[in-house]
Amino acid sequence: MRLLGLGKLKSLGKLLIFAGLLLACALVPMAAQGQSLTSISVTPANPSIPAGTGQQFTAMGMYSDGSTQNLTTSVTWTSTSTSVATITTAGLAAGLAVGSTTIEATSDSITGSTGLTVTGSGLVGYWTFDDGSGTTALDSSGDGYTATLFNGVTWVTGKIGGAISANGVNQY
């Protein structure tokens, strides 16, 4: 018994292979003869996202013959600071903490990159008013914006937990 194989280049980066007695076929990524990957462009360029959100990146390969190909699912994605953001094999970054990182897409020895800035959650401050006493209310957002209470604001029981009472004129 003999197995025969036949390949035909269908387009840049795809080779259709026919093989076997039961005729099986597969698409195998490969560059056409004489074409080589020269650079990778990662987009969007230098985005900024709030912590807790995501950003989809795309990797476009540029070839020596001037053609381009979407390589998003075939490159290796990395984040240079995984405490700031991580990235999946499909190019989806997750912002974890405030800071900056570089997102890289690599195929063979060719790497493209862009910056990613992760900002605060967008919430400026979150005061529960459960402190119960004193002239300050602690910020629960994690950003450290403790509120100072002026002119005799009083602590009272709220509908859920603590609350403050101000006269609406000069208390704040």
- Mean pLDDT over the full length of the chain: 84
Give how many domains the chain has, as a whole number: 3
Give residue 34's pLDDT band: very low, low, confident or very high (50, 70, 90).
low
Looking at the fold, whether 114 and 141 belong to one and the same domain comes out as: no
Looking at the fold, whether 13 and 87 belong to one and the same domain comes out as: no
Looking at the fold, whether 105 and 152 belong to one and the same domain comes out as: no
Looking at the fold, whether 151 and 87 belong to one and the same domain comes out as: no
What integer pLDDT is reported at residue 5 of this predicted model?
A: 46
Range of the domain at 67: 37-119
Looking at the fold, whether 102 and 142 belong to one and the same domain comes out as: no
pTM (global) more than 0.75: no
Which amino acid belongs to residue 23?
A: L
Looking at the fold, whether 111 and 135 belong to one and the same domain comes out as: no
Looking at the fold, whether 157 and 141 belong to one and the same domain comes out as: yes
Looking at the fold, whether 91 and 127 belong to one and the same domain comes out as: no
Looking at the fold, whether 63 and 108 belong to one and the same domain comes out as: yes
